[in-house]
Amino acid sequence: MLKKIFVISLIVLSIASCDKKQNSKPAAQTVPQKQEIKVPEFNADSAYKYVKKQLDFGPRVPESEAHAQCAEWFINFFNDKADTVYVQEFRTRLYNGKGIDGKNIIASFNPEAKKRILLAAHWDSRPYADHDIDRTKWNTPIDGANDGASGVGVLMEVARVLNENPINTGIDIILFDLEDYGAPQYLNLMTNDDWALGSQYWSKNPHIYNYKAYFGILLDMVGASNPRFPKEYYSQQFAPSLSNEIWRMARELGYSDYFTNEIGHPINDDHIYVNINANIPMIDLIHLEDNENSSFYPYWHTINDNIEQIDAKTLGMVGDVVLNVIYRK
């Protein structure tokens, strides 16, 4: 895994004072002192195992048994790795008016630090395979391997690294619930605010009153082979300097073939509400394509969004970028 080292040089100048009638002696320069910030290595195989473990519970549809069991696993995992874990239970309404319970899970590192970075992904999986080529599968819940579990797997490995390699910056990892419960496409009831319900709730009701973060990164669909990560359109509108800096860092790390220097499609995702309601600049790192029927990877919202679509190499690339951002910031 390619790692970057950020070097800070400190030059100390000492000035020798002389008699007023004499000319000052040239300044004596000390040997530069170097402080090295080493970015820990991201373990792609570990992230892959975290993705697979989520899928082993079954589709993580809110209010299902698999959803409850996976939530318990997350909470135990983060209790072991983070300083503080918050479980934000909430109730909201779906596109059809039905009330439903959700659960956002927040893991905080260095909770007393003023400077904070927010990392997020959604952990629920879609109850409808409504983009599957087989119409009989449209009401079948999906595994959500890439669409959900991949981003969570990366963040779990980030949490493990932070636990073993502490930094002074405050890091908050949020797993948003109920991101993917929008109306099935065959009903033709597409409304943006019917999606990303967990982030809508958190952005208006943060786990800590008046919560602020320096910036945020959302990970969505970050595990497929040969990914294409353009700069998502809304990310470039809300946080252009952050977006440009992260893509520049990705290129420095050797990932320019995948982090393309172009503007991608506008995506209504969790970052929209974090930007608008919480006023935190957040970008969406998401795999986008130019397909005929959608902007997403071919198995999006199908029963084939399973572990076979996950490439540890892609998880490692994304994790490497995230670690370099938080350790070098």
Query: What domain range includes position 284?
Result: 40-328
- Per-residue pLDDT tens over the stretch 248-306: 999 999 999 999 999 999 999 999 999 999 999 999 999 999 876 678 999 999 999 99
The residues, ordered by sequence, that sit 6+ positions from 81 with a Cβ below 8 Å of its Cβ are 107, 159, 160, 162, 163
Q: Residue 10 falls within a domain, yes or no?
A: no
- Per-residue pLDDT tens over the stretch 221-247: 999 999 999 999 999 999 999 999 999
Count of the separate structural domains present in the chain: 1
Residue 26 has pLDDT above 80, yes or no: no
Going by pLDDT thresholds of 50, 70 and 90, the confidence category of residue 2 is: very low
Q: Residue 47 falls within a domain, yes or no?
A: yes
Q: Residue 114 falls within a domain, yes or no?
A: yes
List the one residue out of 220, 191, 197 whose CA is nearest residue 288: 220
Q: Residue 27 falls within a domain, yes or no?
A: no
The residues, ordered by sequence, that sit 6+ positions from 219 with a Cβ below 8 Å of its Cβ are 119, 120, 121, 150, 151, 154, 155, 285, 286, 318, 322
Question: Residue 86's domain is classified under what CATH number?
Answer: 3.40.630.10
State the chain's mean pLDDT as an integer: 91
List the one residue out of 213, 291, 225, 232 whose CA is nearest residue 257: 225
Q: So what's the pLDDT on residue 292? A: 66
CA distances from 152 to 3, 179, 196, 218, 219 (A): 22, 13, 15, 10, 8
Q: Residue 17 falls within a domain, yes or no?
A: no
Q: Residue 68 falls within a domain, yes or no?
A: yes
- Asked if 275 and 282 count as a contact pair (C-beta separation under 8 A), the reply is yes
Q: Residue 182 falls within a domain, yes or no?
A: yes
Q: Report d(CA 77, CA 264) in Å as an integer.
A: 34
Average of per-residue pLDDT across 30-46: 78
Q: Residue 24 falls within a domain, yes or no?
A: no
More confident residue, 249 or 20: 249
- Per-residue pLDDT tens over the stretch 108-154: 999 999 999 999 999 999 999 999 999 999 999 999 999 999 999 99
Instruction: Find the range with the poorest average confidence among 1-5, 76-80, 165-169.
Output: 1-5
- Asked if 287 and 20 count as a contact pair (C-beta separation under 8 A), the reply is no
Q: So what's the pLDDT on residue 318? A: 98
